[in-house]
Structure 1
Amino acid sequence: MSSTTPSENPKSDPVSNAEKNPDNWTTGDEKMTGAQASYLKTLCEEAGQPEKYDNELSKADASKMIDALQEETGRGQ
C-alpha cells in the first residue's frame, strides 16, 4: 500500500499540469484563439490601452498579455 496522497502523485491530480508557462506550450507559437482575441481586446479597452491590442499575437504572447492586463485591471482575481 502506498502512502502517497493525491496531491503528491501527479498522475492522480488532474490539475497539477494544468498551468504551464506559455513559453513551454507546444502550440504557443500558433495564432491566438478567437476566445483569447476577444478577451484580450476587452481587457485592453478596460485598461484604457486599446492601442495595445494586436490581432497577430501568438497564443503564448496573448496569454502573457492577458495575465498582465488581468493584474492591471483587477480581473481574474
Structure 2
Amino acid sequence: MLGGAAPDPSNPASKDPSEWVTGDEPMTGAQASYLDTLAREAGEELPADLTKARASEEIDRLQEKTGRGR
C-alpha cells in the first residue's frame, strides 16, 4: 500500500525517513518547492538547508496542518 498512515513493514520500499540511506543528503528541489508552498499556506518559515529525511517529515506535518495531500 502506498500513502498509508505509517510505513508498511511488508514493503521494503516503504521506510521511515529516519532509516533512509540518503536521508542525510540535502532535500531535493521538488521537496524544497513543495515545502515552500506548504509553509506559506501554514504561515510558517523553515530553514532552507533541511535534509531529505527532515524535509519529508516536515511535508507530512504541514500536509496535516494545511489539509493538503491526505
Same fold (TM over 0.5): yes
Matched to 2:57, the amino acid is K
Aligned residue-pair number: 61
The alpha carbon displacement at 1:19 in A equals 2.3
Runs of at least 4 residues off by over 4 Å: none
Higher Rg: 1
- Identity rate, percent: 61
Consecutive unaligned residues of structure 1, counting only runs of 5 or more, are 1-14
RMSD: 1.4
Q: Structure 1 length normalisation: TM-score? A: 0.73
Consecutive unaligned residues of structure 2, counting only runs of 5 or more, are 1-9
Query: Residue 61 of structure 1: which of 51, 54, 57 is its match?
Result: 54
The alpha carbon displacement at 1:55 in A equals 1.1
Q: Structure 2 length normalisation: TM-score? A: 0.80
